[in-house]
Amino acid sequence: MRFLFLVILLAGTGLGIIYPWATTNFSGHEIGTYRAYDRAGGFRPVEVALATADAPVRVLVDLTTLAPPVVKPARAILTITASTSGETVLAQALNFIDTTPRERSPQLPDPIFRDDAGLIRDVQPGTYRFVVGQGDADNVQIQRVDIILRSGGGEADARAQPVGFSLMAIGFIGLVLSLRRGGGRPENPNSQPPAPRWGRGADKS
């Protein structure tokens, strides 16, 4: 039973965590990475020519900071909008919660946080303008902001994550209960006191 619950736990982890993360970050192919902010030039709009064949386009934002930010779910670190021909096609507030920082290289150890700004599902050929701005979280030491566009970016099935989390809970609880039912360690025969050699109950061998 322990092996079965372990398999359920691993399956839930793959379905609830790994699958959505891989779909967001690695599906499709990268169109390009574009600098939207640095400390020397401040925030600047980014314009990218997109074609119908690029749809859907996944928009990711990399935030490089001088120190890990204090993230609060109710407050946004950055905002991003995307528009074409005067029409807004994407608007998102980003708080970078539940993101794991990474380093660009050993020579550039500043932490980088990535957040998913969403999908542009219907792409009309033309120039798209992406504008990044600072949110209402003012305690973040922003170093750089990059926009990453991925063509043909997939979207994880909305049912996968709840099912995955349920399997994780079942597997974890079942694994814990099976370990408890297994009892303690087997008794060591060498831990028993030696049988008496004379008197009542003496070893006759």
The per-residue pLDDT string of the chain (205 residues; one tens digit each, 9 = 90 and over) reads 777 767 777 777 766 666 666 665 665 688 999 999 999 999 999 999 999 999 899 999 999 998 877 777 778 999 999 999 999 999 999 998 877 777 666 666 788 999 999 999 999 999 999 999 999 987 888 999 999 999 975 555 566 667 777 878 887 787 787 777 765 455 555 555 555 555 555 555 5
Domain residues for the domain of 114 are 28-151
- 84 and 147 in a single domain? The answer is yes
Domain count, the chain: 2
- 22 and 44 in a single domain? The answer is no
Residues 143 and 64: beta-carbon distance below 8 Å? yes
- 129 and 174 in a single domain? The answer is no
